[in-house]
Amino acid sequence: MLVMDGYEATAAIRRLPDTYPRTPIIALTANASEEDRQRCLDADMDDYLSKPVHIKDLHGKLSRWQHEAQRQAQ
């Protein structure tokens, strides 16, 4: 049984003290509409992938946010 959904989990993570650089959150959802994507971004998620997930797309998102985290750490 889920304790919270992705929107609630994102809000909980964003409420944590800022002791580390911002944690990237990538939504993974079966909902593929532009409205769903915008809802994720409005919930303070950083990016969005819809199912079915293709490895190439996942790799691209993870690489993007890894590079962004490295840039912010400098």
All structural domains of the chain, each given as residue ranges with its CATH number in brackets, are 6-73 (3.40.50.2300)
The residues that bridge with 47 in the sheet, in sequence order, are 26
Compute the average pLDDT of residues 36-60.
95
From residue 24, alpha-carbon distances to 1, 7, 39, 73 in Å are 25, 14, 16, 13
The residues that bridge with 65 in the sheet, in sequence order, are none
Per-residue pLDDT reduced to its tens digit, 58-68: 999 999 999 98
The residues that bridge with 26 in the sheet, in sequence order, are 47
Of residues 69 and 57, more confidence is placed in: 57
